Each structure stands twice: as C-alpha cells, then as structure tokens.
Structure 1
Amino acid sequence: MLEDFVRADRERGLGAYGIHVHVDGRPPVEHRFRPDERVNLYSVAKTFTAVALGMAEAEGRLGLDDRLLDHLPELRGLAADGFEAVTLRHLTTMTSGTGHQWFAHQRIDAHDLLTEIAAATMEAAPGTRFRYTGSGPYAIGRVIARVSGADLREFLLPRLFRPLGLHDPVWRACPLGFPFGESELYLTTAELARFARLLLDDGEWAGRRILPEGWVRRMTGERVDTGGIGFGPAYEHGYGLGVWLAHDGAYRMDGAYGQYAIVDPRRRAAVTVTAHSERDGDLLAAVHDLVFSRLG
C-alpha cells in the first residue's frame, strides 16, 4: 500500500519521518523512514487543546460561549475595547478579531503573554474574521488551568494521555509554566495515530468513552469560513474546533513541516504522518494522491 509513497518521498525529498495507516477491518500499515522518536507536532497541538476544552465543558467547568474575561476578570482593566465580547468559541476557531498574532516559536517579551493578547487592538468584531494564530489556543489553556486547577498537560494526563497509553508526553511551556497550547507537544507517529483513531471512533478507545458524546461531531460541524487566507487549496474548506475541514467530509490536524493526522469517516480511515519537510504542501498532496485515493 505504501510503496509508491515511500518511493515518492525518496525521489522528491518530501522529508517524512513515518506514516501510519489505519482502516477499519484491516491490520494497520506503517513505514518508518527513521526510528519513531517523539517530535514537535507544531499546530497539531491545537486539536489536543480543543479536545481539552470539550472535556472541561462536559464536566460543567465552562461553556464555549463563555467570555474569556468572565473566567479571567483580572484582565478587564487591561483589555482592548471590544475584547470583552470574545468567547472561548472565538478563541478556539481563531475568530476573536484581535490583532494579536503569535506562535510558540516566537520569543515572549511580556511578563504574561495573556495580558498582551487581551490588550492587543481589535481589528474585527468577534466571530466575523478568521485569522490564523496561536494566541487563542494558548488563552484556552489558561482558562482550563483557572477552572480546573491543573494546567493543560496535567488536565489531559488522566483524561486522555494515560487512557491512550501516551506516557508522560512533553508539552513545552511559557515562562509562567503554562503549556503553549498551540504547539510544542511532542509525540511519535504511532502515538499520534492513536489520537487520530480515537477521533475516527467518535471518542471511544478500547470500548471506553474518552471524549464527551458528540464532541467529535461538533469539532467538525462548527465550521468557520477560511476562504481567501492564502494558504492554498487545502485550507479553503473551513476550520472547525481545532481541525481543518476538507471538501469530502474528511478533516485534518495540521502542523508545520508536515505533521498530519487526517481522519476520513466516510472511508473509516485515518492516516498519520510526521516529518520535517520544507515541501509540506507536496507531502500532503502525496498523502492524498498515493495513500488516501487508493483506500477505496
């Protein structure tokens, strides 16, 4: 199944580290281009943060339409005009309207990144514009820490990581000790494949419900428009709660340099890739053309 993909990686220099293919009713198929070591998943981490949000909601700790400042009232005197309307849903779908754009590889000069996020000038009304940034997922992690008493990683350890057998994952943190939320989560290809399969199976793992009933459907059903952002055709079909949507009902976790977990409920399949690719668009196209298109 993977021979053509492996050949394409070698001939085109796509930079894959490993690929794992799960299709219901068939043995998994995988190929390693190097030992399956943990790597930075980059923006795939946003999906884990979105899952944590759903878990916290199911536990009655928060709601998606809660305003950020209701959970963090100490920011009220610092927040920009209009920021008071920003909800957790806006932050998760990256439609807050804030002009703040930040990603975890960038240096944090503010004493508290959260105050910088809240104080940034608003450029659009909340809910009216998609702008790709790590600011929202980081803020969601801070809210989860406030309502649960555990930071994002600690919150997910007993609820997600341990049930999936993801032992002691590294999630790098800001200077105040809060996981970045939007990036810097380290897992192997096989470990990420377990998470992808969990989503494919609507939040159940080994006969046990891990994610709240209906949460996966909400992740893909609450679509915001991403047309015209200039990322390329694969990013023009909308964004959900922490996932990129495709035109055919599939959806994708997507991180820089070729970290992908693509879930296709119609085919009952999930394909997971880790990489360091300077041609990640070509890598994604190869996954679709040489793997997904041949699953039937």
Structure 2
Amino acid sequence: MSSSDSVPDPLLLLPLRQRIVEQQLGVRALHVIRPGRPDVTHLFRSDAPENLYSISKAVTALAVGLARDEGLLDLDDRLVDHLPAPTGGTGPDGAATRGYGEGIDQVRLRHLLTMTSGSPVTAFTDEEREHPGLTDHFLGTDLSAQPGDGFVYSNGSTFMLARVISERTGQSLRDWLMPRLFEPLGILNPQWFTDRQGFTWGATGLHLTSAQVARIGGLLLGEGIAPEGAAEPGTRLVPGEWIRAMHAADAWVPTGEADPEGGKYGFGVWKCSVGESWRADGAFGQFLVVLPEQEACVAITSHLEGKPGSEILRAVWEELLPLL
C-alpha cells in the first residue's frame, strides 16, 4: 500500500497549498493526475487559458515524434535537407543575407531538439523575435560553435523544428497537431503564437487552461495514451517509444547550470533532481512533473516573479511527494 492510500484526496494538496500561500509562490492551479483515480485539483483563480511558455517546447517535441512516426523526418536528418537556403532575407542590421550560414549544413534535427545546434540565433532578443524573416535569419547566420559541442538554451532551435514540420506538411504546426493531438485530448481551439510570417513559434506561446495542460501531463505519464478526461481516452496518440526516448538516459545533455533542477536537458524536457522524475517546464512556474515511481503527474500553472521556479518544485518535493 502506498502512503497516498491513507491520505484522503481532499487533503492531498493541503500542505502544498499552505506553503504556496505562505511563501507567495504565485501558483494559479494544481492538478495531480494518477491513472485509475480521480484527478485532485485546486484552483487559486478561474481556469482561463494562459501562456505555457516553454511547456510549448515539450509539445513540439511530441510533434517531432509524431512526424518521425509518419516518416516525415528523422533525428539524424540535416536541417538543410528540409529547409531551402535563404534567398533574400535581411539580417538585424538590414544587410541582405544569401545562402546558408557557415556550418548550418552540419546541424541535424537532433541538435535542435537537444539545443546543441551551435547557432547563436536563440530568438530571445526583441530583434530576433520580431525579425521579418526569422527562418532565413537562422539559416543564414554562421554557427558560433560546432553542433553537438555544447548546450545553449534556445527558442530558435525549437522554432526551427516547428518550421521543418510545417515545410513537410504544408500546415502550421498548430493546425497539423489539431487532429493528431489537440482534438483527441479535447483541446478544441488552442491559441499558439506565431512569428511575423505566420509560422507557429513552437518554443513558446501555446495558451491552454490548466485542465487542458493536465491532460498533456496525463499523456506523458501514460507514455502516449490519452488519459481520462480526454475526448478519446485510452487512445494511443504518440508512440510510447518516443515518450521514453524524450527522457532516456542517452537523451540528457549537460547544461552547465548550477541549479540541480536545471542540470540536464533531454528532448524538450528537463531531468528533475528527485528519483526518476522529469518535467516540461515553462517560465514563471509552469510545470508538468512526471513521477514514474509514484505513477503520478503534477501539473502546475503559475505566475511567479522575483523567485526561481525551482522554489515551486522544492515545495512539491517536500510537501506533496511524501503523500504520494
């Protein structure tokens, strides 16, 4: 019998809720998902759609797995095999760009997925986010490091994965995922930011309610099977082999971060400091924490400023995990 069997569901979140309030951690919603049991939920405010920030990257990683399963791409494909060379873009300084940047022909989709591409185009500056031709800017910029040599956190890398899928399918990433992921999960009209050319950002900007993001957490926990509460529960949506690959031992790359919660990055997800747990992670405290040993997933939406998001994770480890 697990310790959670002796804790009534209405009390499961009580210690965590108290700590959230006392430490002003900015959490807006909590969901605990466990197969075969009702979800345990607490909302600190109405459950409106909000930006999940980099949880979007994990959803794009799921899309890469689906595209791979459909034969549209492979992780060892070169980026240049999917996207044509720039022919008339402009750099941030207004200078014309022509052709691929130096080293771009060595970038493989695996490098983009693990953020080891070596490209300096991370798309965090206003200049890059608002670039009129971000795809060509990425493709036309010389690498600053050899692909695979080191991790640099990058919205640009994930955006380029979204662009590859769009190029192969003729649809935006968001639209391509509608019948494959969103609609079967009961997510009928998700909003997802685009660049100035109308391409889905992929790296950020997906807006969902906490209940909807919890269904994605259930999908991760269930290794690709739609959870209870989805429109098509029990349906396989993503290959289980791909979900396992996202957080497999050989997927993790060292980031150089001192925070133990940020030391290893996989395929759009992070390794947690506790046991075999792993997570999708977005700015301001958005989390999908998968707990294989507890057969649970914790979905959290927040708006935490002035403190690291790891404070929320620490609260989960200390207040909730012992009850699971």
Q: Could you state the TM-score of these two structures normalised by the residue count of structure 2?
A: 0.86
Q: Which secondary structure state, in structure 2, belongs to the residue aligned with residue 74 of structure 1?
A: coil
Partner Cα distance (1:227, 1:151) in 2: 30
Distance of aligned partners of 1:229 and 1:75 in 2 relative to their CA distance in 1, 3 Å threshold? farther
Q: Which secondary structure state, in structure 1, belongs to the residue aligned with residue 301 of structure 2?
A: strand
Partner Cα distance (1:25, 1:110) in 2: 47
2:266 maps to 1:240? yes
Which ranges in structure 1 are unaligned for 5 or more consecutive residues? none
- 1:111-190 matches, within 5 Å, as 111-190=132-211
Partner Cα distance (1:104, 1:211) in 2: 33
Deviations 1:4-52 (A, max 9, x none): 1111111111000000001234321110000011110000000011111
- 1:37-52 matches, within 5 Å, as 37-52=48-63
Distance of aligned partners of 1:13 and 1:105 in 2 relative to their CA distance in 1, 3 Å threshold? farther
Partner Cα distance (1:179, 1:226) in 2: 28
- 1:267-286 matches, within 5 Å, as 267-278=294-305, 279=307, 280-286=309-315
Distance of aligned partners of 1:217 and 1:162 in 2 relative to their CA distance in 1, 3 Å threshold? same
Which ranges in structure 2 are unaligned for 5 or more consecutive residues? 1-11, 88-97, 227-232
Partner Cα distance (2:23, 2:119) in 1: 39
Partner Cα distance (2:59, 2:154) in 1: 16
Supply the AA of the counterpart residue of 2:75.
L
142-151 or 109-118: which moved more? 109-118
Partner Cα distance (2:251, 2:143) in 1: 22
Q: Which secondary structure state, in structure 1, belongs to the residue aligned with residue 48 of structure 2?
A: coil
112-121 or 81-90: which moved more? 112-121
Partner Cα distance (1:211, 1:24) in 2: 17
93-102 or 138-147: which moved more? 93-102
- 1:225 CA drift (Å): 2.3
Counterpart of 2:19?
8
Counterpart of 1:225?
253
Q: Could you state the TM-score of these two structures normalised by the residue count of structure 1?
A: 0.94
Partner Cα distance (1:47, 1:59) in 2: 19
- 1:57-96 matches, within 5 Å, as 57-75=68-86, 77-96=98-117
Deviations 1:80-99 (A, max 9, x none): 21111101111111010112
Identity %: 39
2:317 maps to 1:288? yes
